[in-house]
Structures are given as C-alpha cells and as structure tokens.
Amino acid sequence: MTLLLILGVAAGLYILWLVFTLAIYALPLYAGMAAGFWVNSTGSGILAALGVGLAAAIATLLLGQCLFQMVRSPILRATIALAFAVPAGVAGFSAVDGILSLGLHADGWRHALAWVGAIVI
C-alpha cells in the first residue's frame, strides 16, 4: 500500500511537470491544428493537412522566438509573450479542471483550483 501511494504521488508530480512543460506549445499547436483542418476541408487530403499543420506549428514557434529576440520594445515583447501565455493559460485551466474532475466533484472548488492552475502555468 505504501509503495502504491509513493508511485501515485510520483505519477501525479510527473503529470504536473508534463503539463507545465507542454503548455508553452499551446499556441503553435492551435495554429498547426487550425491550418491542418483548413487544408483538410479544402479536399487536399490527410497527408497534406498533416504536413501543412506541422509546418504551421513549427513556423509559429520559430517566428515567435525570433520576434521575441529581435524586438527591443518592452510593450511589443509583452504582447508577444502574452500571445503565447494566453493559450498556455487556457490549456492549463483545461488540464487542471480535467484532472480535478476525476476526484473532486465540488464545482466551485474545482473551478477555483483550475483558475489557480491557469495563472500558475
């Protein structure tokens, strides 16, 4: 029983680390999925949609990083950072809310903790 408790805590901490690590890729993921769905809706096929989606995701990430390094204005840097932080916050809210919905059924507490998770991420 003690071993299962230790492994459960380790698994929970690993999931938390994974959510924090992958949240920065929320904007490129959204951009890639939007481009892929758009290409697929034009009738180009699934392989073309996957290729365009992957290219759009990589381009979004690289463009954001290059712009953040080149721009010197604090207002523009904050705008670029906010463009990446808002989707990460939405992903963090959804992830924390989804994980907490497995065991916590009080909606008020679940949403309050999900907002804390979104702000922290």
Contact 84, 102 (CB under 8 A): no
Q: What is the mean pLDDT of residues 52-65?
A: 94
Chain Cα centroid distance, residue 11: 20
Cβ burial 45-62 (10 Å sphere, 16+ → b, else e): eeeebeebbeebbeebbe
pLDDT at 12: 79
Q: What is the mean pLDDT of the chain?
A: 89
Q: What would the mean pLDDT of 32-45 be, rounded to a whole number?
A: 93
